[in-house]
Amino acid sequence: MGILESLITELKGLFGCFTDPRSPSPNLKYSIVDIVLSAFALFFTQSPSFLEYQRQMERQYASSNAQTLFGVEQIPSDNHIRDVLDHTPASTLFPAFKSHFERLRASPAFEKFEVLGKRILIALDGTQHHSSSDISCTSCNTRTSRSGETVYSHSFVAASLCAPGHHEVLSLPPEFITPQDGHNKQDCENAASKRWLEQYGADYAAENAIILGDDLYASQPVCTAILEQNLDFILVCKEDSHKVLYDFISEVAMETVEIKAKTGPNRGQIIRLRFINQVPLNGNKVTLLVNWIGIEVSHRDGKKGYQGAFVTSIAVTANNVAELAQAGRARWKIENETFNTLKNNGYHLEHNFGHGKQNLCNLFATMNLLAFNSHTLCNLLDQQYQTIQQKLSRRETFFEELRTLTKYVLFPSWTSLFDTMLDSLKPRGRPASKQP
């Protein structure tokens, strides 16, 4: 069984745990597994019309790619899918993220994600995946716009396994920013991030994880929550939000390390790293002591490049400061490789696939993350899939090819589909000219 078939089989077992709001009956046409698989197939192929194409194919061939590729026995209507799935919380799918991590952990590809002596980096950041003044549900957050209009939204704190110099990321379980039982205040990113740490911190402490985050996370409550889970952190630290810290370091001597690139595209570039250990994070009576790193990049032509700073719980030395700084800068991968890909490069995370009245919006966002993970794992672990991605170069192109092929051709397996894609990508010689 290939990687993709294995992933789908694994998810299929999880889909049987979904809540089925329908009255038990031997006459039910669609199983709960078929309903969930049908929804997941849409996100995997990133084709809003995938199910309709497969219904047409079924009428013609008495079978479809929904059946042969995803194992769907009966294809339900889109409305029926939405009505049934609205009753299942998104957290039902969260065990799949742990399984994805463990699958990667057991593979040679995991080495690409190890830094600082077999440690891993997990970037946390919040993002919005729905906003509307008309469509809402019980899980929506609300705010009032300048015009006095009520705006409904959905957001979540995402967690991504990432590494410097490696463009692949793996999504870990999200934590949705949503009204909490027993709380009058609106939920927020910091509160959601602390819930994430409480729930999953111990799992990743066993992997010697380091938490990455933007300046919002460089606060004493969040830093303390990270340390309480036996995790370390490297967090962006801006001067305008950490006045006490910057006033303190302006009056003390710091160690400096300069690195000059002698070869490659950055030849002549100079990276100047300053650092100091055990400085106050804020002006509280009982303040957390952190270690500060400043980075200044100068290009060969004298122009200034990246300028930034981090605070970390890891003791900084002249020997590790460069790697710590590089790890801290990997935080941007959650924005570039995760959010940008999900919103702009084929996954349409902010599209309204169906909002529902209870759980549907967050459930569909979770399915989108799992589809993204499935593609990532295939690209890391499956040579055939990897070759296709390298030849197509863009995920959007892969989805375009997938949509076209599965619309018109019935494939007995994923291997057959990928063989067809690879064959179509082979260079063709020019046809011989006919002699007069």
CB-CB contact of 19 with 88 (8 Å): yes
How high is the pLDDT of residue 350?
A: 92
Residue 356's pLDDT is 94
Q: Which two tokens stand for residue 225?
A: 């929550």
CA distance 343 to 190: 23
Best CA proximity match to 158, nearest among 336, 359, 360? 336
pLDDT at 300: 80
- Residues 256-262: contacts with CB under 8 Å, at least 24 apart: 257/318, 257/321, 257/322, 259/322
Query: Quick one: pLDDT at residue 28?
Result: 86
For 328, the token pair is 């801290």
Burial class (CB in 10 A: 0-12, 13-18, 19+), 16: exposed
Q: How far is CA 43 from CA 133, 293, 310, 385, in A?
A: 25, 41, 37, 18
- Other CB atoms closer than 10 Å to residue 431's CB: what's the count? 6
> C-alpha distances in angstroms, 100 versus 30, 118, 127, 185, 338?
28, 19, 22, 34, 16
DSSP 3-state of 208: coil
Task: Evaluate whether the domain defined by 90-342 bears CATH number 3.90.320.
Answer: no
| pLDDT tens series, the chain, 436 aa | 689 999 999 999 999 999 999 988 777 899 999 999 999 999 999 998 999 999 999 999 999 999 999 999 999 999 999 999 999 999 999 999 999 999 999 999 999 999 999 999 999 999 999 999 999 998 899 988 888 899 999 999 999 999 998 899 999 999 999 987 655 567 899 999 999 999 999 999 999 999 999 999 999 999 999 999 999 999 999 999 999 999 999 999 999 999 988 777 777 789 999 999 999 999 999 999 999 999 999 988 778 888 999 999 999 999 999 999 999 999 999 999 999 999 988 899 999 899 999 999 999 999 999 999 999 999 999 999 999 998 887 888 899 999 999 999 999 999 999 999 998 887 755 555 555 5
3-state DSSP: the chain helix, strand, coil percent, rounded to 5? 45, 20, 35
| Cβ atoms of 327 and 333 closer than 8 Å | no
Tell me, what's the pLDDT at 70? 97
The answer to whether the CB of 129 falls within 8 A of the CB of 150 is no
Cα distances (angstroms) measured from residue 254 to each of 54, 270, 321, 373: 65, 18, 13, 42
> What is the DSSP track for 287-353?
PPEEEEEEEEEE-TTS-EEEEEEEEESSPP-TTTHHHHHHHHHGGGHIIIIIIIHHHHSS--TTS-S
Domain edges within the chain: 3-88+382-424, 90-342
Say whether pTM exceeds 0.85. Answer: yes
Number of C-beta neighbours around residue 233 at 10 A: 25
